[in-house]
C-alpha cells in the first residue's frame, strides 16, 4: 500500500489531508514521493520557524539526543532550565511551566487564573472570558474556551465557566466583566484559525486597563503569533501592554512538540508542588531545539520578518491582506480550496483560515524563494 492508502486505512480519520506525501525537506523547500519540489509557505502551521532540517537546530537537537533524551520532571536537566531563563529574560515574565502543545499551555493558563482568583477573591470567581471567533485548542476545556460554536456541538458537556464576547468591542467586554465573576481573560492578538483577524490597539489596551483595575489576569495566547511570527518576539509587544500570563507553542520548538505557559511576578507563585504537571513537559530534546530557535530570534531576524511582510503585501496589492509579520491572511475571490489546489499544482504549499488564504512561511525564507512562491500565489488567486 502507498503511504496515502496506509494512512487512510489505519490513521483515525480526523484530518482531511492534502494529496501530498512529503518525504524530505530542507529550509523552505520540500519534496514529495514523486520527487516534485514545493516551496513551503505553511511551515507545518507556523511550527518549523527556520524551515525543514535546519542545520543549527538539528545540531542542537541531535547533540541533546546523544546525551539525555528524557528524565521526567523528577530530576533537573539543563535545557529546560536555560530555556525558562531565556524566556523570562526576553519577556520580563517570572516563571515558566512547560507543556507539550498549545492546548496544554492554555490549560495551564486557565488553571493559574482559577487558582489565582480563588486565592485572592474566593472560588466563585472562576469565569474565563475569551473572544468570539477565537481558537485555543482541542481539549475539552480549551474547546470550551474556543469562541466558535461549530467546535462545541458534538462534545457536550464542555468544561463550564467560559464566556465569549466579540473581539474589538470594548463596551461589550466591560459589560461581561460587570456581569460575571471573572478570573481571567484569554485572547489572541491576531486570531489565526478564526481568519487572521487583528485586534485593535484600543481594544487590547482597553482590556489590559480594565483587567488591571479589577485584578483579573490578562492572558495572551501566543501559540501561533509568538516566537517572532508577527515581527516582535511576542505579538503583545506591539501593543505596549504587560500581560500576566503568556502561552506559546507552535514555532517555539522549531518542529518538536513543546508548549510554555509564562507567568508574571504577580501570579508566579500560584502553582505550587503538585498543582500541575506533565510527564514529557520540558523534555530536554525539545527544549534544546527551542533554546536554539529562541536564541536566533534577534533584532536582525525580526527586521527580516518585517521586510518579507512588506514584500508579500506589495505583491498582493489589490487584495485585502490581514495579519501581521509573516502571519498573513488574504481574502480570496474564489473558494480558498481552489486557490490552494492551484498553489500545489504550481509547487507551493500554503494554508487556509476560514475562507482566507493563510501564509505562514519560515521566518528566514530566502527572498528568491519567497519571490518564486509569490509568483505562484498571485497567479493562483486570479
Instruction: Name the residues that contact ligand PLP, by CB under 6 A.
Output: 101-103, 106, 135-137, 188, 192-193, 221, 223-224, 249-250
Tell me how far, at minimum, the Cβ of 105 lies from ligand PLP, in Å: 8
Cell of 335: 473558494
Choice between 231 and 253, CB closer to ligand PLP? 253
CA–CA gap between residue 360 and residue 175 (Å, rounded): 35
* Helices 55-65 and 284-296, packing angle to 10 deg: 150
CB of 259 to ligand PLP, least distance (A): 6
Residue 117 and residue 283 in contact, taking contact as beta carbons nearer than 8 Å: no
Task: Give the separation between CA 110 and CA 57, rounded to whole angstroms.
Answer: 31
Q: Which is nearer to ligand PLP, 57 or 187 (CB)?
A: 187
Burial of residue 318, with CB atoms counted within 10 A of its CB: 0-12 exposed, 13-18 middle, 19 or more buried: exposed
Q: Smallest gap, in angstroms, from Cβ of residue 224 to ligand PLP?
A: 3
Shortest Cβ distance from residue 148 to ligand PLP (Å)? 12
CA–CA gap between residue 161 and residue 155 (Å, rounded):
16
Q: Which of 21, 54, 53 is nearest to 38 (CA)?
A: 21
How many Cβ atoms from other residues are within 10 Å of residue 37's Cβ?
11
CB of residue 255 to ligand PLP, shortest distance in Å: 13
Report the residue closest to ligand PLP, judged by CB: 102
Residue 84 or 260: which CB sits closer to ligand PLP? Answer: 260
Minimum gap (Å) between residue 233 Cβ and ligand PLP: 16
The SS3 assignment for 344 reads helix
Phi, psi of 144 (to 5 degrees): -65, -35
Residue 25 or 192: which CB sits closer to ligand PLP?
192
Residue placing its CB nearer to ligand PLP in the complex, 54 or 193: 193
Cell of residue 319, nine digits? 487584495
Q: Considering beta carbons, is residue 231 or 259 the nearer one to ligand PLP?
A: 259
Amino acid at each position: 500500500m502507498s503511504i496515502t492508502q496506509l494512512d487512510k486505512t489505519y490513521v483515525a480519520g480526523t484530518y482531511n489531508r492534502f494529496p501530498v506525501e512529503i518525504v524530505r525537506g530542507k529550509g523552505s523547500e520540500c519534496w514529495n514521493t514523486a520527487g516534485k519540489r514545493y516551496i513551503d509557505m505553511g511551515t507545518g502551521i507556523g511550527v518549523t520557524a527556520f524551515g525543514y532540517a535546519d542545520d543549527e537546530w538539528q545540531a542542537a537537537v541531535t547533540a541533546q539526543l546523544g546525551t539525555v533524551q528524557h528524565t521526567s520532571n523528577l530530576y533537573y536537566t539543563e535545557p529546560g532550565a536555560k530555556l525558562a531563563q531565556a524566556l523570562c529574560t526576553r519577556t520580563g515574565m517570572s516563571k515558566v511551566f512547560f507543556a507539550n502543545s498549545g492546548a496544554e499551555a492554555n490549560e495551564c493558563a486557565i488553571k493559574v487564573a482559577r487558582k489565582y482568583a480563588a486565592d485572592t477573591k474566593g472560588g466563585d470567581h472562576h469565569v474565563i472570558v475569551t473572544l468570539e471567533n477565537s481558537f485555543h485548542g482541542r481539549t475539552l476545556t480549551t474547546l470550551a474556551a474556543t469562541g466558535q460554536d461549530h467546535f462545541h456541538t458534538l462534545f457536550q458537556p464542555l468544561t463550564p465557566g467560559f464566556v465569549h464576547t466579540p473581539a474589538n468591542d470594548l463596551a461589550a467586554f466591560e459589560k461581561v466583566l460587570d456581569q460575571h465573576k471573572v478570573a481571567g481573560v484569554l485572547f489572541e492578538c491576531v486570531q489565526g484559525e478564526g481568519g487572521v483577524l487583528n485586534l485593535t490597539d484600543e481594544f487590547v489596551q482597553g482590556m489590559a486597563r480594565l483587567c488591571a483595575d479589577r485584578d483579573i489576569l490578562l492572558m495572551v495566547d501566543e501559540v501561533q503569533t509568538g516566537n517572532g511570527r508577527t515581527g516582535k518576539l511576542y505579538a503583545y509587544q506591539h501593543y505596549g501592554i504587560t500581560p500576566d500570563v503568556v502561552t506559546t507553542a507552535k514555532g517555539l520548538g522549531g518542529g518538536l512538540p513543546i508548549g510554555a505557559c509564562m507567568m508574571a511576578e504577580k501570579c508566579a507563585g500560584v502553582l505550587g508542588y503538585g498543582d500541575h504537571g506533565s510527564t514529557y513537559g520540558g523534555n530536554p530534546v525539545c527544549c534544546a531545539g527551542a533554546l536554539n530557535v529562541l536564541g536566533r530570534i534577534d533584532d536582525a531576524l525580526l527586521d527580516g520578518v518585517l521586510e518579507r511582510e512588506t514584500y508579500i503585501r506589495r505583491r498582493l496589492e489589490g487584495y485585502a491582506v490581514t495579519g501581521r509579520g509573516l502571519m498573513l491572511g488574504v481574502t480570496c475571490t474564489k473558494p480558498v480550496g481552489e486557490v490552494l489546489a492551484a498553489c500545489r499544482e504550481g509547487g507551493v504549499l500554503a494554508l487556509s483560515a476560514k475562507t482566507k488564504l493563510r501564509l505562514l512561511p519560515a521566518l528566514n525564507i530566502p527572498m528568491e524563494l519567497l519571490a518564486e512562491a509569490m509568483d505562484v500565489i498571485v497567479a493562483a488567486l486570479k
